[in-house]
């Protein structure tokens, strides 16, 4: 067995993609299962990535005129009951708080005590509790629009969970806005979808397709749900963010009304939109390889790790002094409008093992420095987008002059590589036979991809879809790539006005 293979992630993507995913997370030390059903612990390296995502997206949300606020974790049952479709959508997965203290159970243990008059659920989403506040805040057209976002933890008691992709507790931002007109609310819904697209592509290097969800995939209580859909390396789609036009459904339920300019009472129009820690899953499954995590430099907690190599105390001082001064010079440089993030890993473990740890964590650039490098005023550079052994010697001068543009290139190439993958795994499909062949993948192969098919709403739950566990991902907006095009639904033979995207999905 080659040395490389010994260090690589086992199993490989081709051998077992779902297990590879878990092993990448473990090898990169991103997160692990918690001792609470379906919940996760996000470890420092994983949380560092999430923090960078939060910071970048938060800036974009604020730049589009929104402000942050904070609403309660708990929702009274009576609030949830107000919107019938909504409660139906979430009733089966609510964590319910029924007591407010503990007392001895007589056997040395504890039991719940102090039963509450009205139970609370831990928010699975906050439309109803935020709507209550909004109904008090909105009196006149002058109070509108309300453009508020919150970063929060939410809880949905999922039966089958997988780290980052589907967990009982997860972390997200949820925007909730109120508008005087339907038109303005619809514009907001689409604006935030654009923000999500911008963020996914330009920060995470994850190309996404924007579109309208089919009625069966709508958020419970929404009029229209839009999403961004990404294609993972196994050919399955991942819904990476959603934006909902809620019409007047929640405004009616929460009584959000206002006096218009003529003094007439009107029901407001609302939206909500969110992305979550699920994006961590999208990130991992878009870029990572059989050596472990690959990070787009913009959201890498460290852009560069410096690895000092020495065998005795004399060399130690020489090498560490050099590394410290290199560190300072690098941190004075900028990438993506901020200082370079550099760390020195001086832990006392074997050099090869240490280097592999950083490969598996997806650090974009590794700089090995030994006594001979110091003598030459140079470093030995490894890049995460090259093979682990493909390292080059570089003078410090060359390094300082070129490192920011190397990171820029890595960021761009990750996006273009992912776009190529999507292009190569998107297929126009016109017959049921082609459809079956596309999704009938052999083990280890890409499981289909994006299938562009003519479609009619009557095809929802068609046996062919159920059989292959394929679903409509979204109805893309009209564009050059997705023109309006009269056709016949592949599944029902009914009329279709354009092709939509089908895929297996997470």
Q: Which residues form the interface with its own copies (CB under 8 A)? A: 32, 34-36, 39-44, 47-48, 50-51, 67-81, 87, 91-103, 109-112, 114, 119-122, 129, 132-133, 142, 148, 153, 155, 157, 169, 171, 347-348
Rounded Cα distance, 429 and 491, in Å: 12
Of 12 and 327, CB closest to its own copies? 327
Residue with tokens 């068609």: 462
Phi, psi dihedral angles at 347 (to 5 degrees): -65, 150
Using only the alpha carbons of the chain, give its radius of gyration.
26
Of 120 and 435, CB closest to its own copies? 120
Q: In whole angstroms, how close is the CB of 326 to its own copies at the nearest point?
A: 21
Burial 17-55 (b: 16+ CB within 10 A, else e): beebbbbbbebbebbeeeeeebbbebeebbbbbbebbee
Q: In whole angstroms, how close is the CB of 60 to its own copies at the nearest point?
A: 16
The DSSP symbol for 289 reads: B
Of 121 and 406, CB closest to its own copies? 121
Rounded Cα distance, 124 and 129, in Å: 11
Q: In whole angstroms, how close is the CB of 74 to its own copies at the nearest point?
A: 5
The contacts of residue 100 (CB under 8 Å, 6+ apart) are: 114, 116
Q: In whole angstroms, how close is the CB of 82 to its own copies at the nearest point?
A: 11
Which stretch of DSSP H or E encloses residue 234? none
Rounded Cα distance, 272 and 192, in Å: 9
Of 111 and 397, CB closest to its own copies? 111
Of 96 and 481, CB closest to its own copies? 96
Of 58 and 412, CB closest to its own copies? 58
Q: In whole angstroms, how close is the CB of 469 to its own copies at the nearest point?
A: 25
Is residue 181 within 8 A of residue 145, CB to CB? The reply is no
Task: Give the residue among 179, 268, 195, 193 at the shortest CA–CA distance from 225.
Answer: 193
Q: In whole angstroms, how close is the CB of 218 to its own copies at the nearest point?
A: 21
Is residue 504 within 8 A of residue 236, CB to CB? The reply is yes
Torsion over CA: 483, 486, 488, 494 (sign): positive
Is residue 5 within 8 A of residue 291, CB to CB? The reply is no
Of 37 and 497, CB closest to its own copies? 37
Q: What secondary structure does DSSP assign to 346-360, as a single string?
A: --SS-HHHHHHHHHH
Q: In whole angstroms, how close is the CB of 53 to its own copies at the nearest point?
A: 13
Of 7 and 277, CB closest to its own copies? 277
Of 110 and 375, CB closest to its own copies? 110
Q: In whole angstroms, how close is the CB of 254 to its own copies at the nearest point?
A: 11
Q: In whole angstroms, how close is the CB of 495 to its own copies at the nearest point?
A: 40
- Whether the bond between 162 and the residue before it is cis, its omega within 30 degrees of 0, is no
List Cα–Cα distances, 161 to 20, 34, 183, in angstroms.
16, 12, 38
Q: Which two tokens stand for residue 497?
A: 């006005």
């Amino acid at each position: 067995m080659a040395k490389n293979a010994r260090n690589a992630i086992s199993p490989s993507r081709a051998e077992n993609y779902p297990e590879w995913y878990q092993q990448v997370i473990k090898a990169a030390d991103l997160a692990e299962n918690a001792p609470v059903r379906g919940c996760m612990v996000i470890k420092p390296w994983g949380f560092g990535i999430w923090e960078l995502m939060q910071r970048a997206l938060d800036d974009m949300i604020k730049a589009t005129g929104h402000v942050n606020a904070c609403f309660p974790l708990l929702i009274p049952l009576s609030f949830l009951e107000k919107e019938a479709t909504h409660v139906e959508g979430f009733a089966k997965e609510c964590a319910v708080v029924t007591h407010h203290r503990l007392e001895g159970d007589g056997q040395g243990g504890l039991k719940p005590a102090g039963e509450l008059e009205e139970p609370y659920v831990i928010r699975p989403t906050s439309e109803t509790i935020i709507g209550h506040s909004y109904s008090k805040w909105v009196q006149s057209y002058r109070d509108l629009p309300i453009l508020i976002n919150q970063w929060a933890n939410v809880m949905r008691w999922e039966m089958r969970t997988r780290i980052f992709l589907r967990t009982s507790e997860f972390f997200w931002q949820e925007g909730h806005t109120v508008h005087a007109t339907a038109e303005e609310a619809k514009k907001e819904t689409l604006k935030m979808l654009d923000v999500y697209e911008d963020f996914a592509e330009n920060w995470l290097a994850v190309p996404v397709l924007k579109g309208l969800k089919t009625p069966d995939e709508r958020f419970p209580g929404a009029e229209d749900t839009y999403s961004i859909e990404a294609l993972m390396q196994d050919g399955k789609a991942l819904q990476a963010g959603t934006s909902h036009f809620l019409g007047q459904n929640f405004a009616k339920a929460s009584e959000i009304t206002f006096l218009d300019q003529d003094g007439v009472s009107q029901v407001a129009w609302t939206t909500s939109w969110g992305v979550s820690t699920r994006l961590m899953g999208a990130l991992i499954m878009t870029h990572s390889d059989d050596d472990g995590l690959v990070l787009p430099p913009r959201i890498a907690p460290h852009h560069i790790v410096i690895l000092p190599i020495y065998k005795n105390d004399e060399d130690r001082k020489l090498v560490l002094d050099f590394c410290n001064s290199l560190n300072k010079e690098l941190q004075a440089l900028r990438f993506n409008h901020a200082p370079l993030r550099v760390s020195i890993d001086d832990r006392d473990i074997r050099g090869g093992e240490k280097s592999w740890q950083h490969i598996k964590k997806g650090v974009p650039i590794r700089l090995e420095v030994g006594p001979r490098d110091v003598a030459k005023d140079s470093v030995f550079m490894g890049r995460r987008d090259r093979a682990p052994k493909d390292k080059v010697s570089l003078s410090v001068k060359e390094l300082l002059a070129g490192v920011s543009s190397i990171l820029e290139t890595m960021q761009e190439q990750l996006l273009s590589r992912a776009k190529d993958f999507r292009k190569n795994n998107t297929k126009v499909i016109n017959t049921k036979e082609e459809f079956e062949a596309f999704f009938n993948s052999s083990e280890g192969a890409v499981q289909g991809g994006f299938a562009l098919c003519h479609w009619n709403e009557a095809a929802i739950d068609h046996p062919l879809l159920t059989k292959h566990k394929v679903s409509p991902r979204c109805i893309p907006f009209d564009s050059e790539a997705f023109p309006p095009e009269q056709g016949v639904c592949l599944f029902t033979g009914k009329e279709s006005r354009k092709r939509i995207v089908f895929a297996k999905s997470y």
